[in-house]
Structure 1
Amino acid sequence: MYKPAAPRSLISSPPGEAAATGPNPGRCAVAHYRELDQRWHELRSHLRGTGILTRRFARKIGLQNLGELMGLLHDLGKYSSAFQNYLLSAVNYLDPDADEYVDARSKKGHIDHSSAGAQVAWRTLAPRRGVSQLVGQWVALCVASHHSGLIDCITPDGHDRFTERIEKPESSTHVAEAEQRADPDVMDRIRRLLDSPCLLEEVTQLIDRIRQRARTQKLTGTPFSHMQLGLAIRFTFSCLIAGDRIDTVHFTNPTGIRFRQGGRYHYWNELIDRLEAHLVSMPTRHAIDVRRHEISDACRNAARRPTGIYTLSVPTGGGKTLASLRFALHHAAHHRLDRIIYIIPYTSIIDQNAQVVRKVMETATPPGNARRIVLEHHSNLGAEQQTYADKLLCDDWDAPIVYTTMVQFLEALFGSGTRGVRRMHQLANSVLVFDEIQTVPLRCLHVFNQALNFLVQEGNSSAVLCTATQPLLHRVSAEKGALMLAPDAELMPDADALFKAMKRVEVHDERKGGGWSDAELADLAIKALQEEGSCLVIVNTKKAARRLYQLASSQIDTDDVFHLSTDMCAAHRKAVLKKVIDRLKTPRRRVLCISTQLIEAGVDVDFRVVIRFLAGLDSIAQAAGRCNRHGGPRPGHVYVVNPENENLDMLPDIAKGREQAQLILDRYKRDPASYDDNILGRRTMQEYYEHYFFQRKEEMSYSLSKEKFYGATLLELLSTQDTARQNYSRQQKAQPPYPLLHAHMSAARAFKAIDTLTEAVIVPYSEKGKALIEDLHGQFDAADSGPSDLDTTRELLQRAQQFTVNVHPTTLNQLMSKRAVSVLGSSGIYCLDEAFYDRNLGLSNDLVNRMETMTW
């Protein structure tokens, strides 16, 4: 593992600050123009500033010289007269009658300024062969890709994309002219780095560490080494993108410098003191409070362990939000780590968890210079909730404690383009806390495991996998990618005893032949409500949720019945959930909530009875966590039922989990003692995952279209590239002429964190949603027009994320046939007619508000 030096601030010598020159750029090459005060960003300063930042970021994995070299080379092509004339013409600096003047609008995006630096690195280092060739290709690949996202070396069909790019003619890349016109000190530093033995040594050491780990883990000949090297390439690419964008923004908007923190968080101990004071002040009224203190103390006691991958196996309601934070703060302080990043599966959980932590961490007088301590980055944050500083910090996750989603985390590691990848380097030298780790997409398991191993082993990070249902990620195929847990991985001293001590519910297996009818299920829920005061029904499909809600509403007071599903936009779900939580806390207020599985992982609700449609055992356990959550004196009751005629064809994860759960429930009936008399205990869950993973082991490498990818998986595209190598050899009758073969761009474009074919529809929920749709339509004057104000439209669309429902293409076609949706100009963005949005159920295929039809 590479141990980075103590982090240094980005603010100590701000990149871009010395880059502002006078209004006459004739004396030097320029990179950017600041319209605010008609000042220019010297290209020399931009290259040096980017080099400094990229060096600093890449130092985290010991590749500081490689990073600086990429920073200095990335915009070398801007020294060409073609680019300089384009930039000067674009801001009307050149006289339109001058010989150098060009039509900037027609030239935009057509002047290649990234290939020159790539060619310098490749042509200098490749002829030296060995590690030099690998380093030359590495640098060239990142520099050439810094506007597009990492390109393929060899495409899945065997096409040599790297050679095609690196051998572009001088007339396109202007490399000779750029080298000749470059500032002497810039070229001198580039040549010194290219000739430096340190450049090759740091890459050689990285490769040796990866190979040694492969030998130790007996993974030689597997995708491991190729994948780890590919992740290192993407990591340095992240460093380059972040360095380039930060240096540019510091010039174009220098006021933003004061918001950046750059990893310089001097106040871990002060934050620790705040948390410890809060924990001391928490009352101990019930037995469960004693257990929560024990869990928290165990996390504190484990914080001095070495960096590594740890598990925190705690029953739901065990207080793992603050317990994991306690470990993370003490661990970060002890190992001098940069930040703590919480990765959460659902935005609904982020809202509640971040709020809890913010109340403890952010007081009226924040430490340092009053910068943000807890930063949220997820799609549910509307534009009105984010300040400019928040948006700036979200670009780089630049705060001590960051809350983000699994989707954003996976996009940073595997997504396309340059926006997400720039955050990847911030995942190093950090504590990564995964809440509800069992929700990681199954098809991503091997690439997820490989990436987490890299961040811990090369990036000096620690990971904590929090859940009541540990999914045994270290037990999947080691050859393709299993987690390499720390030797003493579990943070709880006796997790089995803890689960027995915190048992708060009785689970009733109420499956029956033929299944339960809707009427029977409604009767069961209403009876539970009448006897216990609160009941939660968790179903598998949106259709089932609608039917049961309508049945229950026809029999009892509608004020007592609530519906939750993804047919409702995020703002709608959030509002309903708040009502549910408030009523649960109010004595003698009855609550019957009928929800899809969106409520079962991590949402802090406490029902007396839970009825769960049969699904995976992990889902049943998570549902049980919403029952008697805070350990009342009487046990709660969880009923597992099998509905009749349930169609799960579109939900294969639930269907396959249900199949394995059935088998274990049947075995438990025959011999409960073999499962410690606990159907939701750790032994039962371990057996469930062993069978579930074995059944689905072929899906974990992220399968891709056979027609397009020739049978290769995403794991293969990012590692060995066996299929692409064979295709290349068959076509060229030779082996590829360079060492790195990864298909970065093909993999990134194929990758989707959420595997669903849906279209987003903006819905008119509440007066805010209706006004938002009106404002959006106002931006598109004609049927085929674009927006009249791009910045305003961007802000409106960001706000619209809270008022969006994702629908299947079949549903969208049905809505279109009924003229229930309108399209915003030529954007392809859909808005729903108010007549098709039900105030209780959300988006509907049928007319629900006949008098409120809207015409655009």
Structure 2
Amino acid sequence: MLADVRRIRERIKSANSGALIPRFQQFGLLVRFLFSCLIAGDRIDTADFEKPARMGLRQHVEDARWPDLIRRLERYLFALEAPQPIDALRRGISDWCLDAATRDRGIYPLTVPTGGGKTLASLRFALHHAQHRKLDRIIYVIPFTSIIEQNAGIVRQVLEPVDMPHDEGRVVLEHHSNLTPERQTWREKILSEDWDAPVVFTTMVQFLETLFGSGTRGARHMHQLANSVLVFDEVQTLPVRCVHLFNNAINFLVEQCNSTALLCTATQPLLDKVEPEKGAVRISPESDLIPDVRALFDELKRVEVDDLRKPGGWGDEEIAQLALAEFRNTGRCLVIVNTKVHARSLFDLLSADVGEDCLYHLSTDMCPAHRQLELGKVRERLESTKRAPVLCISTQLIEAGVDVDFDVVIRSLAGLDSIAQAAGRCNRNGRLEKGHVYVVDPVNERLAMLPDIAIGREHAKRVLDDYRADPGLYDGNILGTQAMRDYYRYYFFERAADMSYAVPGDTVGYRGTLLELLSTNERLVDEYKRRQGKPPPYLFRQPFMTASQQFSAIDAPTQGIVVPYGNQGMALINDLCSSPDLSNASSLLRSAQRYSVNVFPYVFEKLNRLGALHLVSKDLRIYSVNRRYYSERFGLSV
């Protein structure tokens, strides 16, 4: 272990001699890594001793069949049709990823415009790189459960083809909260406990909990992040307060644990440009897998962005009229707004003029099972050969990674990264000569509860104003790499103080940051010196338990409520209410996640005052809501 400590010290010293915080955080990560190995070994031995019949379900993927899986992918890619010019560009991106797969381990950006085929291109890099570098597994880290099933389904189709039935469930493992017990076999449950599969899909929340969260369930997975290819999809969705913690952890996994990290997005955040003394990602010298990112963005430009902001802003009726006109003109229009209240208002205004079978609504007031069903209906109409008309009103949940293709998108003003992601839902497959994205500034959107969006919107205004004054400043492309670089430069500069994860002083008697607690722990070390007259005699000074208890990957004090959506939702609530001991009813609790809506405290209190809530489990704080307060159109409503 001393050799590991010296290696960490020397590596960080060579990059930045004064960076004590990254050095000590990596010391702490080393301790957690060893703890992970200990916990995993102990739990596996205990489980195999108690239930030896299940030992055979484990795979032990140290000898992953990379050549076999590569052949399956290459066969799939060879058979893909390429009817549109955009398909040739996607193949070019995939070939660049193949060429880069022989590089040394490191941290590499994969900056590809939306609709550029990042899922298969990153898989191609990961499989070939894993074979070339003799790595154990590939771990995809996806931002939202709403898209993880989509991406995992694509990869499963490639690596677990129907003509290989013996490999079903043995190559691709999904590990996230939306999995129902009915979909998870005993083998999948056992493999999930230790991420024991060649390709693992998980969420950013679970990844961050693995590195920093409390308890042993998440920490048990940490050792599996070593000797792996880590693919971060839509990395720009990383919570701002976790930036330095994340950066130091990625550097540790790559430099000390023999892994490679791929940072995939169309809107690459400047994780390598933040304060190095607190922790910046050390991008590999060869940098992006794409040789000329700016040229690629120009080639893949499939939309025109029309900045329709105006003095005084847009009223809801005006936005509704614009959406109605574009719907009647094209038949396929998507409106993305920043708040659930605004989405409902626009839906109500349009429902009088648009048929019920054409008008759709999506928001996080709908439980995952509800959203998935409605999104499926939208996709079915979009993919219809008869070009069935569809007008969809959605919050930003539809932006990151959701594979839909509209002719027109209307986007409420937000961060430039959000506008770019919205543009990725327009003319995605290049069917039109040009799609259109209209940016409007609503009068009535209230963003007090959404500071990330509010701050991003202000900096997007600055870039849009500069572009409006001189389009040549950004080579005529407001969604290009230079405009995005300026946007993130403004955004990260203002939010530099938020990136270290502030800890409220009234919780643990300490007012500071989680970054400090997990690294130098300077304030408490100083207190020790004051009391003892000398520094602590030990190297590892982090209060691991206290820090992990303060960590939460989701920056929102929300409460989950189980909702009566459909017959299954009603049956689930009945089962929850009749279960004598929910603490042992893991299958019911897992099912409940697909039929739950997370609400802020003020919404919870309002529902409670209305008598709409029923306490299902006092110990687990599980509530269900009266059927009157869940709409088949909008989801949860007060």
User: What does residue range 613-628 of structure 1 map to in structure 2 within 5 Å?
Assistant: 613-628=412-427
Q: Shift in Å at residue 204 of structure 1? A: 2.8
Q: Corresponding residue for 1:820?
A: 612
Q: 1:216 to 1:790 in 2, by over 3 A?
A: closer
Q: Report SS of the residue matched to 1:644.
A: coil
Task: Find the aligned partners of 2:356 and 2:49 in 1 and give their Cα distance.
Answer: 58
Does the 8 Å CA contact 1:343/1:406 hold for their aligned counterparts? yes
Distance 1:287 1:789, change over 3 A: closer
1:640 partner SS: strand
State the 1:765 CA deviation. 0.5
1: distance between equivalents of 2:354 and 2:9? Answer: 66
CA 1:805–1:368: 2 relative to 1, 3 Å = closer
Contact 1:223 1:720 in 2 (8 A): yes
Contact 2:560 2:596 in 1 (8 A): yes
The code of the aligned residue for 1:374 comes to: V
Task: Report the residue type matching 2:535 in the other structure.
Answer: Q
* Residue 742, structure 1, aligned to residue 535, structure 2: no
Alignment match of 1:524 (pick from 312, 322, 331): 322
Please name the residue that 1:82 is paired with.
none
Counterpart mapping for 1:375-394 below 5 A? 375-394=173-192
Out of 223, 226, 241, the residue aligned to residue 21 of structure 2 is 223
Q: Using a 3 Å threshold, how does the CA distance of structure 1 residues 522 and 628 change in structure 2: closer, same or farther? A: same
With the length of structure 2 as denominator, give the TM-score of the two structures: 0.98
Q: 1:798 aligns with which of 575, 578, 590?
A: 590
- For each residue in 1:778-802, what CA deviation from the matched residue of structure 2 results, as whole angstroms up to 9, or x when unmatched? 12xxxxxxx24754x3211111100
The residue correspondences of 1:295-444 to structure 2 (distance < 5 A) are 295-364=93-162, 366=164, 372-444=170-242
Q: How does 1:82-161 map to 2 (within 5 A)?
A: none
Which letter does structure 1 place at the counterpart of 2:307? D
2:460 match: 661
Q: Say whether 1:810 aligns with 2:612.
A: no
Measure, in 2, the Cα distance between the counterparts of 1:440 and 1:517. Answer: 32
Q: Give runs of aligned pairs for residues 844-855 of structure 1, distance below 5 A.
A: 844-845=637-638
Which structure has more relative contact order (CA 8 Å, sep 6+)? It is 2
Matched residues in 1 for 2:17 and 2:185: separation? 47
Q: CA offsets per residue over residues 573-629 of structure 1, 9 Å max, x none? A: 000000000011112311111111100011000000001100000000000000000
Q: In the alignment, which of 623, 632, 637 is matched to residue 839 of structure 1?
A: 632
Aligned letter for 2:590?
Q
Aligned to 2:516: 716
The alignment partner of 1:474 has SS state of coil
Counterpart pick for 2:366 among 547, 568, 572: 568
CA distance in 2, matches of 1:487, 1:279: 29
Deviations 1:38-84 (A, max 9, x none): xxxxxxxxxxxxxxxxxxxxxxxxxxxxxxxxxxxxxxxxxxxxxxx
Segment of structure 1 superposing worse, 236-245 or 823-832? 823-832
C-alpha offsets along residues 127-177 of structure 1, whole Å, 9 cap, x if unaligned? xxxxxxxxxxxxxxxxxxxxxxxxxxxxxxxxxxxxxxxxxxxxxxxxxxx
CA distance in 2, matches of 1:348, 1:421: 24
Tell me, what secondary structure is at the counterpart of 1:558? coil
How far, CA to CA, are the matches of 1:468 and 1:330 in structure 2? 23
Give yes or no for contact 2:16–2:276 (8 Å, CA) kept in 1.
Answer: no
Which residue in 1 is equivalent to 2:274?
Answer: 476
CA contact 1:267–1:367 (8 Å) conserved in 2: no
- 1:501-650 equivalence runs, <5 A: 501-586=299-384, 587-650=386-449
Aligned-pair RMSD on alpha carbons?
1.4
Structure 1's 369 and 663: CA in aligned 2 closer, same or farther, altered over 3 A? closer
Please tell me the residue identity of whatever aligns with 1:427: L
The 2-side partners of 1:264 and 1:460 are apart by 14
Q: Specify the alignment match of 2:623 in structure 1.
A: 830
Cα deviations across residues 446-468 of structure 1 (Å, max 9, x unaligned)? 00000000000001000101110
**Partner residue, 1:766:** 566
CA distance in 2, matches of 1:831, 1:710: 36
Distance across 2 between alignment mates of 1:296 and 1:630: 16
1:215 CA displacement = 2.2
CA distance 1:424–1:366, change in 2 (3 Å)? farther
Unaligned runs of 5+ in 1: 1-202, 780-786, 846-856
Contact 1:504–1:635 under 8 Å retained in 2 = yes
Q: 1:358 touches 1:374 (CA, 8 Å); kept in 2? A: yes
2:311 match: secondary structure: coil
Segment drifting more, 524-533 vs 210-219: 210-219
Give the deviation of 1:654 after TM superposition. Answer: 0.3
The percentage of counterpart residues that share the same residue type is 55
Asked whether the 8 Å contact 1:265–1:400 carries over to 2, the reply is no
Q: Aligned partners of 1:276, 1:544: CA distance in 2, in Å?
A: 45
Give the aligned residue type for 1:815. L
Structure 1 residue 825 displacement after superposition: 4.5
Q: Which has the larger radius of gyration?
A: 1
| Cα distance in structure 1, aligned partners of 2:294 and 2:30 | 38
Q: Aligned equivalents of 1:442 and 1:396: distance in 2?
A: 28
2:85 alignment partner in structure 1: 287
Q: Kindly tell me: are residues 825 and 306 of structure 1, through their superposed partners in 2, closer, same or farther at Cα, counting changes over 3 Å?
A: closer
Query: Cα distance, 1:262 vs. partner?
Result: 1.7
Indicate the SS of the match to 1:470. coil
Q: CA deviation at 1:728?
A: 2.2
Q: Work out the CA distance in 1 between the residues paired with 2:477 and 2:572.
A: 50
* Shift, 1:738, TM fit: 2.3
What aligned pairs does 1:56-95 form with structure 2 within 5 A after superposition? none
Whether the aligned pair in 2 keeps the contact of 1:471 and 1:689 (CA below 8 Å) is yes
TM-score normalised by the chain length of structure 1? 0.73
Deviation at 1:341, TM superposition (A): 0.4
Name the CA distance, whole Å, in 2 between partners of 1:370 and 1:751. Answer: 36
Distance 2:68 2:405 in 1: 33
Residue pair 1:261, 1:371 contacting (<8 A) in 2 also: no
Correspondent of 1:242 among 40, 51, 57 = 40
Question: Deviation per CA, 1:479-515, whole angstroms, max 9, x where unpaired?
Answer: 1000011110200111111100010000000001111
Which letter maps to 1:452?
Answer: I
**Alpha-carbon displacement from aligned partner over 1:386-412 (angstroms, at most 9, x marks no partner):** 111111111111100000000010000
- AA of the residue aligned to 2:632: R
- Check conservation: 2:306, 2:438, Cα contact below 8 A: yes
Residues 794/215 of structure 1: CA separation in 2 closer, same or farther (3 Å cut): closer
Deviation at residue 554 of structure 1 after TM alignment: 2.1
Q: In structure 1, what is the Cα distance between the partners aligned to 2:633 and 2:85? A: 38
Give the CA deviation at 1:367: 9.3
Structure 1 residues 695, 399: CA separation in 2 closer, same or farther (over 3 Å shift)?
same
Q: Aligned letter for 2:413?
A: L
> Who is 1:122 aligned against?
none
Q: Residues 46-57 of structure 1 correspond to what in structure 2 (within 5 A)?
A: none
Offset, 1:351: 1.0
Would the aligned equivalents of 1:259 and 1:371 in 2 still touch at CA under 8 Å?
A: no
For 2:112 and 2:316, locate their aligned partners in 1 and report how far apart those are by CA, in whole Å: 35
1:756 and 2:549 correspond: no
Change in 2 beyond 3 A, CA 1:489/1:789: closer
Distance (whole Å) between structure 2 residues aligned to residue 727 and residue 441 of structure 1: 31
Instruction: Provide the C-alpha distance between the structure 2 equivalents of 1:499 and 1:753, rounded to a whole number of angstroms.
Output: 32
Q: Secondary structure at the match of 1:223?
A: helix
CA deviation digits over 1:10-62, x for unaligned, max 9?
A: xxxxxxxxxxxxxxxxxxxxxxxxxxxxxxxxxxxxxxxxxxxxxxxxxxxxx
Residue type of the partner of 1:541? Answer: T
